[in-house]
Structure 1
Amino acid sequence: MSRLIVRKTHAQVEETREVAGRTDERGPLRKVAVCAVVANPFAGSGYVEDLTEIVEASREIGTSLGERALALLGEPPESYGKGGLVGTSGEQEHVNAALTSVFGNAFRDAIGGGKAWITSVTKVAGPDAMIDVPLAYKDEIWVRSHYDAFTVTVPDSPRPDDLVIIAAVANRGRINARVGGMTTEEAAK
């Protein structure tokens, strides 16, 4: 089995208590992002056709990040998302390989499930880059109240030979969400 060498992990937690001077009955919005900074096995290699090594190794990372995100959130998540950064000696496809359904299914299992596809974003970047990881309701993509994002940055990463693999969760939708669309109750039917 392939493994990705983890250089470091990083976690980010944000709690929003009110928006526009108001809150609602659901309480604070908590967002958690957990990141694994790993060595890119294909950095500096030019074009490589078969990226299976990263895809297969991502299962373990998905489980690990999911378990840590769930522990930091402290309650079952309602929203999730994933993202990735690749250093300049790699290509965007390398980090996309780390975020396929192999990663996604392991992440879902670790956080207690989810029926909807996991929103995602990736890019090539340098150290201290920021990325807005999209979030959406974990059981139905059409629940608008949960469309959100979490800005994530990992100090000193990605270095040129790194991949930064990100799993994000939230405990609820946006505070004071009011643009209509399907509700979580309707999605549960």
Structure 2
Amino acid sequence: MTGPAGVRKVVTVVDEVLLELGRPVASPVRRVAAAAVIRNPWAGRGFVADLQPEVEALAPELAQLLTDRLLSELGGVDRVEAFGKAAVVGLDGESEHGGALIHTPYFGNVLRELTEGTSIIVFSDDQLPAGEPLTVPLWHKTAAATRSHYQTVQIRIPDAPRPDEIVVIAAAASGPRPNARIGDRRTDPVVRLADLPMETAR
């Protein structure tokens, strides 16, 4: 991919869980994070009040690129059960630059439509030097309160982001956590602090 998005490289991380506590999991879960390293379009320009023009130009293209990678690694849209997104801004930018590229409909709606999701997309973002890891959270693409699908995937790119770059990430999983068994919000009891057997005095 070349052109206005200024993509320097694309990195895909695949994490497939086959054993848990030495036992084969009933249904192996594949988690994927796809990251695009791009030149920060606002770096070196000081405070830019209106980020919208660059967002409209870059975010949909990045969402398409990264979602295509997710679907390829997972085997199609029907294999996507959970999703998430993230951004890492280099030290010459500001955290709002990453937020601008992932927290608007120009990215989120494209990712959601291509994965046939309906949930709000869970996220993480940070401003970091090159090589630092970022943990990307995931949850169910159509039922965000489904606790079994709360999980994470970590990504680290040794040479990114450079100070004038942003790493934009989309992530997905093919299923829930291995051996998920802590219930669900739909079946949880009502829990109130006053009813718990704990000392509340300080």
Q: Secondary structure at the match of 1:30?
A: strand
What is the aligned counterpart of 2:108 among 97, 104, 111? Answer: 104
The offset of 1:21, in angstroms, is 2.6
Deviating beyond 6 angstroms after TM superposition, the runs of 4 or more aligned structure 1 residues are none
Matches within 5 A, 1:1-189: 3-25=4-26, 27-56=27-56, 57-75=58-76, 76-99=79-102, 100-111=104-115, 113-182=116-185
Which residue identity is paired with 2:114? A
The offset of 1:24, in angstroms, is 4.1
Assess if the C-alpha contact under 8 Å between 1:54 and 1:97 holds in 2: no
* Bigger CA radius of gyration: 2
State the TM-score, normalizing by the size of structure 1.
0.90
**For residues 95-123 of structure 1, what are the alpha-carbon distances to aligned partners after superposition, in whole Å with 9 as ceiling and x for unaligned?**
10110221011112223x10100001110
The offset of 1:55, in angstroms, is 1.8
The offset of 1:20, in angstroms, is 1.9
The offset of 1:3, in angstroms, is 3.0
The offset of 1:129, in angstroms, is 1.2
Using the alignment, how far apart are the partners of 1:30 and 1:54 within structure 2? 33
Show structure 1 runs of 5+ residues with no match. 184-189
Using the alignment, how far apart are the partners of 2:99 and 2:4 within structure 1? 16
Q: Secondary structure at the match of 1:18?
A: strand
Assess if the C-alpha contact under 8 Å between 2:18 and 2:25 holds in 1: no
- Number of residue pairs aligned between Structure 1 and Structure 2: 180
Show structure 2 runs of 5+ residues with no match. 187-202
Using the alignment, how far apart are the partners of 1:53 and 1:21 within structure 2? 51
Percent identical among aligned pairs is 39
Which residue identity is paired with 1:66? T
Task: Please name the residue that 1:186 is paired with.
Answer: none
Using the alignment, how far apart are the partners of 1:154 and 1:168 within structure 2? 15
Using the alignment, how far apart are the partners of 1:95 and 1:65 within structure 2? 15
Task: Please name the residue that 2:189 is paired with.
Answer: none
The offset of 1:134, in angstroms, is 0.4
Which residue identity is paired with 1:156? D
Root mean square deviation, CA, Å? 1.5
State the TM-score, normalizing by the size of structure 2.
0.85
